[in-house]
Structures are given as C-alpha cells and as structure tokens.
Amino acid sequence: MPILKQFVFPALNIMAKRKISDYAGFKKILDESKNVAVLTGAGVSAESGIPVFRGAGGFWRTHRSQDLATPQAFAANPAIVWEFYHYRRNIAFNATPNNAHKALAEYEKKCKDQGRQFTIITQNVDGLHQKAGSKNVIELHGALHKVKCTNSKCKLIDENYDNPICEAFRGRGDPAEEDYNLPFIDKKDLPTCKKCHHLVRPYIVWFGENLDIDIMIAAREAIDTCDICLVIGTSSVVYPAAMFAPEVAEKGKPVAEFNLNEEPASEMFAFHFPGPCGTTLPKAMGINISS
C-alpha cells in the first residue's frame, strides 16, 4: 500500500491544480478515453422537476418517504405505499429530460460511432436517461416503470407504463391530501401480476434490501475498466455507489464531479464543475443542445 500511494497520489496532486471548471482540460481527457463511466444521482433529474426524496424535505403527506420505501411498510400497508409510488410514477412519466440527460445521450452516440465504451450507472429510478436516448444504462436502485410479482414462485419482473397503474389510484396521490379523508383501497384492487395475478410491488430497491447481484457485477465491471469517471448530481453518500468514484481516483484515473456544491466531494477528484448540471455538463462534453 505505501508503494501504491507513492505513485498514485503525486499524479492526483498534479490534477488537483487544475480541477475547478477546467473545461478544456476535461474535454481533452474525456475525448481520449476509451472507456467512460458515468455515475448519476438525484441532482441530474432535479432540473426536470423530479423531487429529491431524501433529507429534511423528503415528505409525502405526513409520511417520510424513506419510511414508505421499505419492505416492512409494504407488508403493513401496501395500499399507501403503492399510492406513494403512483404519485412518483406520475411525476416521472410526465417529466422531460433536461440538457444534462440529453448531453449524456448524445455523447454516448459519439462514443458508439468511435468504438468507445460509455456506461451510465444511475441511482435514479425515473427513466429519464432512457427517455433522452441513452442505451447503456445500469439502474442500481430499480425503475419506476417496472413491477415485481410478490409471489415467491413467480417473481416476474415486468414493464408497466400504465398511468394510473390501476383504477383504484385514478385521481389519487396528491401529497396535500390527508390519508383519513380518502376512501380505503382494498388489497384486491391493487396492481397484480399479469402472469399469476398475485400482488405486485414497485421494482425498487428499498431500504434494508440488497442490490441485484447481476446489476452490481455490471456496475463493478464498468467502474473497474473505465479510463475516466463522471459523477453527476449525487452527494456520494449512498453506498455502494459512494465507493465507486473514490476507487477510480485511488487508481490514479481522473474523476470529474458535476453538482451544485461549490466545494468538491473529495480532494482526490481531478475536476469539479459547480452549478446546474444542465448547464455545466453539455459545455464540458462539447455537446450543443438545440432548443
């Protein structure tokens, strides 16, 4: 380990001298990279109107969103959990990709034409990367447009873009409503599996659950083989995603951070671009987004 530090950290210190908003330096390294890994979080979708459901403001009605995003909450009251996710699905399905999503999709096309690898690893579940045109997207925490059967003998994972997902939620989901003012929804009226007709749940990795092993393997391969890593709109506090960028930096490879914070999340990162991702990212990637 001391030998590793001797060779790696001097390189990182050199990069640190040119880290803040060095668009030209970043673009040069990005365009020379054969394998690009991108890690995105809630901040990349904030400009599209997707609420951040973590932190002090993460409430839906009187419920903390994190309290609803658990298998225990779903077992106790699947109707209220499904209504919360109906609300989230409605927002996501009606949202439009912003310039950050579009820039990533355009740069992926460029990489494909040039025989380069480009992978997005996202903590988001809104599907806006795909809506913008991105193809190689690894969804760490699941997706709002997917459901999973709760029948242990079935476990079908299926895409579902119905809005509302079932008639019981038509006109429901308003966060300003009070739960006790709304008609009770029976379990039999909740979304069911098209194959075995058992209750389905949102295909979301809830608190206390493990990430899908195959998805983790794919994400790990992208991180381990990348020449550069872009960290966009994430606080880098949610594991295991939080360990990805530091691991890249520890290998002496450049990490570029794009978020609203004026200070970088780590002094090990080579580049830091503070400000709205929809503004900084297209400029850094050299992508002209037509209005």
Q: Is 123 marked as binding a ligand?
A: yes
What is the mean pLDDT of the segment spanning 158-182?
94
Rounded Cα gap, residues 287 and 185, in angstroms: 48
Q: Is 140 marked as binding a ligand?
A: no
Question: What's the pLDDT tens digit per position in 237-265?
Answer: 667 778 999 999 999 999 999 998 877 77
- Could you tell me if 85 and 137 lie in one domain? no
- Could you tell me if 74 and 157 lie in one domain? yes
pLDDT of residue 54: 60
- Could you tell me if 223 and 234 lie in one domain? yes
Total-model pTM: 0.90
> What's the number of domains the chain is made of?
2
Q: Is 259 marked as binding a ligand?
A: yes
- Could you tell me if 7 and 123 lie in one domain? yes
pLDDT of 147 strictly over 80: yes
Q: Is 154 marked as binding a ligand?
A: no
Q: Is 186 marked as binding a ligand?
A: no
The catalytically annotated residue of 101, 129, 141, 145 is 141
The domain boundary, picked from 178, 204, 230, lies at: 204
pLDDT of residue 237: 62
Q: Is 233 marked as binding a ligand?
A: yes
CATH number, residue 218: 3.40.50.1220
CATH number, residue 79: 3.30.1600.10
- Could you tell me if 147 and 32 lie in one domain? no
- Could you tell me if 56 and 115 lie in one domain? no
Choose between 20 and 6: higher pLDDT: 20
- Could you tell me if 83 and 218 lie in one domain? no
Q: Is 229 marked as binding a ligand?
A: no
Residue 198 falls in the annotated catalytic set: no
pLDDT of 72 strictly over 60: yes
Give the relative orientation of helices 23-32 and 277-285 as an angle to the nearest 10 degrees: 60
pLDDT of 6 strictly over 50: no
pLDDT of residue 238: 66
- Could you tell me if 112 and 190 lie in one domain? no
- Could you tell me if 123 and 180 lie in one domain? no
pLDDT of residue 135: 98
- Could you tell me if 146 and 191 lie in one domain? yes
- Could you tell me if 154 and 198 lie in one domain? yes
- Could you tell me if 225 and 273 lie in one domain? yes
Q: Give me the domain span that covers residue 2.
A: 1-49+97-141+211-291
What is the mean pLDDT of the segment spanning 213-242?
89
Q: Is 25 marked as binding a ligand?
A: no
The domain boundary, picked from 181, 204, 227, lies at: 204
The domain boundary, picked from 158, 174, 204, lies at: 204
Q: Is 94 marked as binding a ligand?
A: no
pLDDT of residue 13: 43
